[in-house]
Amino acid sequence: MKLSYPQSSKPAEVSPSDWMDWTWQLRHSLKTEKDFERVFDLTSDERAGFEGGKELFQIRCTPYYASLASRENSKDPIRRILMPTASELHMGAQAMLDPLGEKRNNPAPRIIHRYPDRLLFLVTDTCSVYCRYCTRKHFTGNDEAFVRSTDYDQALSYIKSKTGLREVILSGGDPLTLSDSILDRVLSDLRSIEHVEIIRLGSRMPVVCPMRVTDGLVSVIKRHHPVVLMTHFNHPRELTREAADAVLKMVDNGVPVFNQLVLLNGVNNHPAVIQALSRRLMYLRAKPYYMFQCDPSEGTDHLRTSIEDSLDIQRELWGSLSGLAMPTFAVDIPDGGGKTNLTPNFEIARGENHRTYVGWDGVRADYVNPPAQGLIKPIDAEMYLAEWESLKNAKL
């Protein structure tokens, strides 16, 4: 079986070499209402979004990503991701400028440290596409392409001082909007810190500007293995031939790829859409990792699904999608509470020593508990316990 992937619709007046040049894509980004009306038939609702949303959040889209959306249909799923609308001006049920409480977990410039063994390093505030559901509107879009040198040095000093750290996640903004040379510097500096084991790159560039994944970029990343790429595909139509080639270039060169999607009303809130995306990602050897509930950032209420509807999607997928392709459904607890994973509840009854379940296909059975034995006591328990205590007691 060979899956086919559509290609983007390059305008006739643009040369193939320009179209496949990521720097050309960024230089020719759509930023104003006039830019967008050359590509789309704008509705009055969208024009109101341009006019009223100027102070709320920046507007930008690569020509490549704009070419994936319908010119005429305002309900097109890709168009809903990239296009401002009047709905953003209504705060709705819950509207938070900093829904994940990042400002309270910001112990050093550009550092978000919520979990003991990993942190986020916000190396840029710039994205090539400003998705309308962005959770980091309090930070992203201020056009500071790379962190100031004093802030950068303080951030590195903080990372060096926290010996309990094992992972650094480069985020922003989008770290792949940085040049190869700057990215090489950042990766080199992090790799020189002995206790940093894994570096993650969180990027939507393989989705919205896949021509960014060049041989040069891959060479930079390979020099600093292990580096994991966290992509952000939300819809099967984002997996074009160009995007698929970008993913394959990464995995073929030993870069593991994990995908995190956000459930969005009118974009992907249907089991068939998630299944199609997940299967295509797995075919490319990219692991569907998380399926997130949309965070309640300002102006996103019209894009948020209910948790009940999201669980229904997951339940529908449970028996028809391999565990390899099944993303974990998670909600980020507002105000910095961290992630909580949610799954459909298949338990229907509980007794003193048994639990009764009904599976996805209706099979009902009891699971009878053996007597509780407590936790095992391995020979090296003291060593493991000491390591665990040191990790638990690591100060943020």
List the catalytic residue out of 115, 283, 290, 357: 115
| 148 classed as catalytic | no
What letter represents residue 266's amino acid?
G
| 136 classed as catalytic | yes
List the catalytic residue out of 47, 118, 249, 315: 118
Backbone angles phi, psi at 390, to 5 degrees: -65, -35
| 114 classed as catalytic | yes
List the catalytic residue out of 60, 79, 136, 137: 136
Q: Which two tokens stand for residue 7?
A: 């290609």
List the catalytic residue out of 110, 130, 131, 294: 131
Q: Quote the crossing angle between the two packed helices 149-161 and 180-191, to the nearest 10°.
A: 30
| 131 classed as catalytic | yes
List the catalytic residue out of 76, 174, 184, 295: 295
List the catalytic residue out of 65, 80, 110, 134: 134
Cβ-defined contacts of 27-33 (< 8 Å, 24+): 28/62, 28/63, 29/60, 29/61, 29/62, 29/63, 29/128, 30/59, 30/60, 30/61, 30/62, 30/63, 30/66, 31/59, 31/60, 32/59
List the catalytic residue out of 10, 160, 339, 355: 339
Residue 130 in 3-state DSSP? coil
What letter represents residue 149's amino acid?
S
The H-assigned helical ranges of 83-179 are 149-161
| 5 classed as catalytic | no
For residue 228, count other CB atoms closer than 10 A to its CB: 20
Distance CA 149, CA 157 (A): 12
Distance CA 59, CA 64 (A): 15
List the catalytic residue out of 64, 98, 127, 209: 127
| 191 classed as catalytic | no
| 304 classed as catalytic | no
Q: Is the dihedral of CA 32, 37, 41, 42 positive or negative?
A: positive
| 61 classed as catalytic | no
Q: Are 99 and 262 in contact (CB under 8 A)?
A: no
Among 341, 328, 391, 393, which Cα is nearest to 167's? 391
| 294 classed as catalytic | no
| 355 classed as catalytic | no
List the catalytic residue out of 79, 80, 110, 114: 114
Residues with catalytic annotation?
Answer: 114-115, 118, 127, 131, 134, 136, 295, 332, 339
